[in-house]
Amino acid sequence: MCGIAGIVSRAPFDPERSEIVRRMARTLAHRGPDGEGFARLPQCDLAFRRLAIVDVEASAEPLSNESGTVTSVCNGEIYNGDELRRWLSSRGHRFRTGVDTEVLPHLYEELGVGLAQRLDGMFAFAIFDSERRLLLAGRDRAGEKPLFYWAGDGELVFGSELRALLAHPRVPRALDPVALRRYLLHDCFPAPLTPIAGIRKLPAAHVLVHREQRLDVTRYWDLADSYHAPPAPGPLDAAARELDARIAEAVRRRKRSHVPVGVFLSGGMDSTTILAHLSEQEGPGVPTFTLGHVDRAFDESRFARETARRFGADLEEVVLGPAQLEEGLRRVAEGFDEPLGDASTIPTHLLSLAASRKVKVVLSGEGGDELFAGYPTYLGDRLAEWWRAVPAAVRHTVFRAARAASPVTMGNVGLDYLLERFAASCERERLERHACWFGGLPPERHGEVLAPRVLALLSGDDPFGSVRERLRGRALRDDLSALLYLDFTLYLQDDLLTKVDRASMLASLEARAPFLDHELAEHVARLPSSFKLRGVTTKAVLRRAAARRVPPEVLRRRKRGFNIPFSRWILHGLGESFRERFARERVISRGLLAPEGVARLLDEHLSRRADHRKPLYSLLALDLWCDRTYGEAAAVPLARPASVPELEVARAQ
């Protein structure tokens, strides 16, 4: 099952409720093209769309216990489903299919609302207990699979994507101004926020219980608990050997499928490590998929070709040029259910389309950077702490000279881009600068870009509220651990995993991330920070673990990722369409942005005074979503924000 939806209300059986749930399910057809199923229950209707991965011949219907009093739907995979099935069978439970998610209603009978702690997988599930009139919903530990919900007018409405909830006629559509500001900063909507006021994302590692109109949301797992544990003793080599074995087991669990499994291959260390283990377990011929670019500055496909050749993998290469990027942007604009200011969404979706013609499941490398300290920002943090001790006059002189010597190139994460990002935020305190380095538009420019009516609703709001909330009350082992935890719970959850889920499911493809095995993540969190960032070497223990499998040239490569030449695309092709889309009259009619501020960003980019690829893409994604949600250039209704939106996650409706 790969798309779920449902409504709980007071009426025992309600024809309108059933019809609305069917309508919601139709919006999720791309997530599950292999069938749909519905359940009409007392006070609840459930629906799902199925992408058949395990027991592909099983019928498409919600799964229940023997008596039919407990019914479940689930988006994702339960990797320990076989082990749970054997345990449940030993306790007298009977199963009708081989589907992994059939364990859920039976596990609920045994463990009640605590069942999520026993699950190993990527999932978003809903279970309705007809006798107790109780709905239990939960989301996996890292946030690989999404779940949205809204409570009001005596109803609880939920679904796998925002679009499913917006198919309900009584769910409000007013935009949340606080969420909009968070989006401008982070390029995504940090959970529990969504663009729509009142609609919430269930955060990763949380469960929701709804009974008798009361809604409670609680956390059942926290990676911070492992960062609190004392660092594991022993030498780096021993830690690397154990890590290698744990990665092998994580890959073994995630290849469980009755259909072919492939690998997204960038040629970098994370994806190559996954391919090395999968090839060792399965032999040659593993289907792999990579991107090439007509723009040679962004084309790193030769590394993937060399890697695939080394492991005897079957490689398919998707070459991107202007025509392919335009088609990808069109598909993403039409298919994404919420704005996401990450331009790599486009190549990820195009790669998913190519992969879906050969396989239904791919393994990908998400989580490697957030667990092992792979981003240059972690080195930047240490440099910034040293740099802040240098006299201000010296700092400013050095930056002016460096900028003069490094003209804006609009290249693939070049030195000029990194220097500009570093200089813009290096003097902030640690959490704020880290958020700005990862994000799009820093808070000091929000006043330029947001419309006065939006700013009027943001009085007293802390733009870094979502960042501070992630770390509130958590005394992590050291500064690096705090940043890794922040990135795991915000950037990974709300940007990267959102991107991969939507981009792949839009192509009816399931993506699984071995590095996000929760036991592996806990183990890595317990390792000393010096095993991750060792001098200027990032991912030290992973490099050591991969050394006997991965070619040395792969280990030496600088991190790039699936980037596209969006900066140059604006200069040569998109610039004029940007001017049309963000023309003064059109921006004013929309009512969210200040036309002069947007024009200033675009002019600075087109004149090569600055590389504004990130905020410009975020604004484009936002406006395209508004077109689809509210109408072409239509005015967007605004809601008055709650005082502390981050804390709404644990409140009853």
The CA-to-CA distance between both ends of the chain, in Å, stands at 28
Which of 10-19, 231-240, 445-454, 484-493 has the least mean pLDDT? 231-240
With the CA atoms of 353, 360, 336 and 5 taken in that order, what torsion angle do they form, in degrees rounded to the nearest 10?
Answer: 160
Q: How far apart are CA 168 and CA 26, in angstroms?
A: 12
**pLDDT > 90: percent of the chain:** 73
With 50 as the cut, is the pLDDT of residue 211 above it? yes
Q: How many helices (H) and strands (E) does the chain have?
A: 29, 17
Q: How far apart are CA 380 and CA 404, in angstroms?
A: 21
Q: How far apart are CA 465 and CA 72, in angstroms?
A: 35
pLDDT by residue (tens digit) across 163-177? 999 999 999 999 999
416 — pLDDT class (breaks 50, 70, 90): low
Across 497-515, average pLDDT: 96
Across 332-361, average pLDDT: 94
> 26 and 146 in contact (C-beta within 8 Å)?
no
* 280 Cβ contact list (under 8 Å, min separation 6): 248, 549
- CA proximity to 332, closest of 343, 319, 316: 343
Q: In the prediction, which pLDDT does 650 show?
A: 39
Identify the DSSP state of 203: P
With 60 as the cut, is the pLDDT of residue 652 above it? no
Q: In the prediction, which pLDDT does 399 show?
A: 64
300 — pLDDT class (breaks 50, 70, 90): confident
Q: How far apart are CA 443 and CA 449, in angstroms?
A: 10
Residue 402 exposure: Cα atoms within 13 Å on the Cβ side: 15
CA 105, 109, 113, 116 dihedral sign is negative
pTM score: 0.94
pLDDT by residue (tens digit) across 96-151? 988 889 999 999 999 999 999 999 999 999 999 999 999 999 999 999 999 999 99
What values do phi and psi take at 318, rounded to 5? -105, 115
Which of 442-451, 563-572, 623-632 has the least mean pLDDT? 563-572
Say whether the peptide bond before residue 169 is cis (omega within 30 degrees of 0).
no
Q: In the prediction, which pLDDT does 1 show?
A: 53
DSSP annotation string for 125-170: EEEEETTTTEEEEEE-SS--S--EEEEETTEEEEESSHHHHHTSTT
CA 569, 269, 189, 101 dihedral sign is positive
**Residue bearing the bigger pLDDT, 418 or 426:** 426
Q: In the prediction, which pLDDT does 230 show?
A: 74
Q: In the prediction, which pLDDT does 647 show?
A: 40
* 544 Cβ contact list (under 8 Å, min separation 6): 236, 237, 239, 240
- CA proximity to 359, closest of 251, 287, 291: 287
Amino acid at 316: E
Q: How far apart are CA 41 and CA 20, in angstroms?
A: 14
- Polymer length in residues for the chain: 653
Which of 73-87, 358-372, 430-444 has the least mean pLDDT? 430-444
Q: How far apart are CA 63 and CA 58, in angstroms?
A: 11
With 50 as the cut, is the pLDDT of residue 611 above it? yes
411 — pLDDT class (breaks 50, 70, 90): low
- What 3 state SS string does 353-402 have? HHHHCCCCEEECCCCHHHHHCCCHHHHHHHHHHHHCCCCHHHHHHHHHHH
Kindly report the average pLDDT of the chain as a whole number: 90
Q: How far apart are CA 101 and CA 80, in angstroms?
A: 10
Please give the distance of CA 368 from its chain centroid, rounded to a whole number. Answer: 14
Q: In the prediction, which pLDDT does 403 show?
A: 62
Across 237-244, average pLDDT: 96
With 90 as the cut, is the pLDDT of residue 551 above it? no
* 19 Cβ contact list (under 8 Å, min separation 6): none
- What 3 state SS string does 590-623 have? HCCECHHHHHHHHHHHHCCCCCCHHHHHHHHHHH
> 402 and 420 in contact (C-beta within 8 Å)?
no
Q: In the prediction, which pLDDT does 108 show?
A: 98
With 60 as the cut, is the pLDDT of residue 649 above it? no
